[in-house]
Amino acid sequence: TVAVDKLSLAVSSGVTEQVSQAKEQLLHDSRDPLSELLDSKRGSSVTENAIFETLPRYWEDEFHKDMRALNVLPADVLTRVSEYVPEIVTYIERIIERGLAYEANGSVYFDVARFDGRPEHHYAKLVPEAYGDARQLQEGEGDLSTGEDRLGEKRSPNDFALWKASKAGEPWWNSPWGKGRPGWHIECSAMASAICGDYLDIHTGGVDLKFPHHDNELAQSEAHDGSSEWVKYFLHTGHLTIAGCKMSKSLKNFVTIQQALERHTATQLRLAFLLHSWKDTLDYSDNTMEMAVQYERLLGEFFLNVKDLTRHVVAGKPRDAFDRWTPVEAGLERKFGETKAAVHEALCDNVDTRSALDAIRGLVSLCNVYIKEHRTGRTLNALLLRRIASYCTDLLHIFGAIEGPRGGIGFPIAASGSAGSAAVVDLEQTVMPYLSTLAEFRTAVREQARTLKATDILKLCDALRDDLLPALGVRLEDRDDGTPSALKLVPAEQLAKEREAKRAEEARRVEEKERKRAELAAAQAAKDAQRKINPVEMFLAETDKYSAFDPATGLPTLDVEGKEISKGQLKKLQKLQQAQEKRYQEYLASLKA
């Protein structure tokens, strides 16, 4: 009704753009209820399977686009159920031959009790306590096995569908049992077996698929093969929640990948996952993403510093790069070795990426301390830092947090070639020689300008650093210790955010300074106003506390309730009056001066 009201108002206004927007909103809001209505009234008239292929193909294309945007490697093999129906039918026939499935009214069901009764088999291996749980079966099977018309066909409520006879308007394929479609679980077993054979080392999936889906997969696959083990290991990933709640269409709290990528990069999203255990619930929230952003910033700044330091070493004499190690470098090398061992141990321990990244964080933090303490004295070993940065970069490549060819340092900034070209140019390698020349020229100009006190030229040099270069994605950092200015390629958007944050911080400081100045001025004004009050009159305005005063001294004699002021309280009031007398006399003296 809200959308209808908006459309009515838009039509009344006569504004074409508003009418168009209101129409779009009405169509969007009506989509779900209209779909349900049309499906209930006209759904049985659908007879072409093509309509059931068009929509999945569309969303499959969207899925692949999202995966590319996330830098997820493409699958080696992609299977579609509609392309494997003959294999699925053959798979079901084999289970029937082994006496572990039966046909009923054009459908085929798996005989759970008979399967579990055989000594070589065991049903519900993953979640034994769920055997016979009607609620979980309903959640996993839906109308395929638990509708009123289906329960009458089955020998037991625990049996699940391998093949379902199709109703009018539902997709169907021919089979020995009539027109129908595969059950939910059988398609996975049949397609996996067609590609991988009759045994899997590792099977993955969400933790919510343990029962009934994965347990039913195991049962029907072992029934088909006549084996007692179809999968060696299961890796069940934790849920993804949104701000503490499970994603739900009804709650309207789901976030699409495109929406997530509007707020954060693919690298930041991947780091958010890597910083959590794959088997635990991950909460997609501002706090979670801020952790990833901070981690990326820590490593990004480290990589930029190392590249800048290495660049200066390479530009000098080769022999100058190989300084004698001090105990500090030896300690850093030892920490490097310990970190590599810790990363290896973490990944061998159930693929613990969180602990691996924590170890990298500790190493990078130590390197940052080393850089800060040794940059000024020119005793910094850039080659050791480069080895560490290369290792960290390579690990991020392995984790998929950095794309492109391996072998460099840090998060690459690439520039595409001509439109539509797949060629990618290493932007840093291309432009850095020119930027270095520009930075050296600017440094020489600044030195001359300082000598000549040419403030206008100094302002132009600052503008080049603060405004012109950042707009091009270049951060130029001047140093006060005499070392060359640092040059770092950073996305222009990031530099713009940094500049805005810096300006906001400067504005906050100015505002805070002004607030304190105003507070001091107000306090001084109040103090000056207090000095002007005659001590005899200082209590007369406090009628909310006192009701009578001594006409000679101005001291209160009765409180607001008419009670006489006690001696103790009177002494306190006299002390206050004496202090005011002193301030008042100072004020009078200042007038005479």
Is residue 289 within 8 Å of residue 264, measured between CB atoms? yes
Q: How far are the Cα atoms of 346, 349, 367, 399, 449 from residue 354, in angstroms, in the given order?
A: 8, 11, 20, 11, 51
Find the angle CA(532)-CA(534)-CA(539) to the nearest 5 degrees: 115
Q: What is the SS3 assignment for 180? A: strand
- Residues recorded for the chain: 593
Query: Domain containing 41: what range?
Result: 2-69
Distance CA 412, CA 423 (A): 15
Q: Which residues pair with 165 in a beta bridge?
A: 180
Task: Identify the pLDDT of residue 416.
Answer: 44
Report the CATH number that the domain containing residue 229 is assigned in CATH: 3.40.50.620
Q: Are residues 185 and 85 in the same domain?
A: yes
Tell me if 124 sits within 8 A of 211, measured CB to CB: yes
DSSP 47: -
Q: What is the pLDDT of residue 244?
A: 82
Which of 361, 389, 416 terminates a domain? The answer is: 416
408 located within any domain: yes
- 302 is written with which tokens? 């480290």
Residue 502: inside a domain, yes or no?
no
Tokens of 253: 């709290």
Please count the CA atoms within 13 angstroms of the CA of 137 that sit on its side-chain side. 20
| One domain, residues 21 and 128 | no
Whole-number pLDDT of residue 421? 37
Contact 190, 87 (CB under 8 A): yes
The pLDDT, as a whole number, for residue 447 is 92
Distance CA 363, CA 591 (A): 69
**What integer pLDDT is reported at residue 147 of this predicted model?**
57
C-alpha to C-alpha distance for 8 and 18, rounded to whole angstroms: 10
What's the distance, Cα to Cα, between the start and end of the chain in Å?
A: 79
- pLDDT (tens, 9 = 90+) of the chain, 593 residues, equals 677 778 788 788 888 888 888 888 877 777 667 666 666 665 555 666 677 788 899 999 999 999 999 999 999 999 999 999 999 999 999 999 999 999 999 999 999 999 999 999 999 999 999 998 877 777 766 655 555 666 678 999 999 999 999 988 888 999 999 999 999 899 999 999 999 999 999 999 999 999 999 999 999 999 999 999 999 999 999 988 987 888 776 677 889 999 999 999 999 999 999 999 999 999 999 999 999 999 999 999 999 999 988 887 665 566 556 778 899 999 999 999 999 999 999 999 999 999 999 999 999 999 999 999 887 656 788 899 999 999 999 999 999 999 878 888 998 875 544 333 333 446 787 888 899 999 999 999 999 999 999 999 999 999 999 999 999 999 999 987 777 888 998 888 888 888 888 888 999 999 999 999 999 999 988 888 888 899 999 999 899 999 999 999 999 999 999 999 999 999 999 999 999 899 888 888 888 87
How many Å apart are CA 568 and CA 366, to the nearest integer? 65
For position 417, what pLDDT does the model report? 42
Same domain flag for 106 and 205? yes
Residue finishing a domain among 416, 445, 473: 416
Into how many domains does the chain fold?
A: 5
Same domain, 51 and 104: no
Q: What pLDDT does residue 160 have? A: 94
The structure tokens listed for 41 are: 């009234």
**pLDDT for residue 317:** 60
Asked whether residue 104 falls in the same domain as residue 54, the answer is: no
Same domain? For 151 and 231 the reply is yes
198 and 130 in a common domain: yes
pLDDT at position 20 = 84
In-domain check, residue 527: no
DSSP string, 483-551: PPPEEEE--HHHHHHHHHHHHHHHHHHHHHHHHHHHHHHHHHHHHHHHHTS-GGGTTTT-TTTEEEE-T
Among candidate residues 405, 404, 391, the one with its CA nearest the CA of residue 359: 391
Question: Is residue 495 a part of any domain in this protein?
Answer: no
Instruction: Say if residue 311 is in the same domain as residue 377.
Output: yes
Q: Which of 439, 470, 490 is the C-terminal boundary of a domain?
A: 490
Instruction: Give the residue carrying structure tokens 């000095």.
Output: 531
**Residue 498, pLDDT score:** 84
Residues 56 and 173 in one domain: no
Helix (H) or strand (E) holding 186: helix 184-196
Whole-model pTM? 0.74
Compute the distance between CA of residue 398 and CA of residue 70 in angstroms, rounded to an integer: 15
Buried b / exposed e over 560-588, threshold 16 CB at 10 Å, is: eeeeebeeeeeeebeeebeebeeebeeee
Secondary structure letter of residue 215 according to DSSP: H
Q: Are residues 226 and 100 in the same domain?
A: yes
DSSP character string of 569-593: HHHHHHHHHHHHHHHHHHHHHHHH-
Q: DSSP secondary structure string, 105-131? A: TTEEEE-HHHHHHSTT--S-SS-GGGT
Could you tell me if residue 581 is inside a domain?
yes
Residue 194's pLDDT is 97
- The answer on 569 and 443 residing in a single domain is no
Mind listing the pLDDT tens digit for each residue in 361-409?
Answer: 999 999 999 999 887 656 788 899 999 999 999 999 999 999 878 888 9
Write phi, then psi, for 548 (nearest 5 degrees).
Answer: -150, 150
- 453 and 477, same domain (yes or no): yes
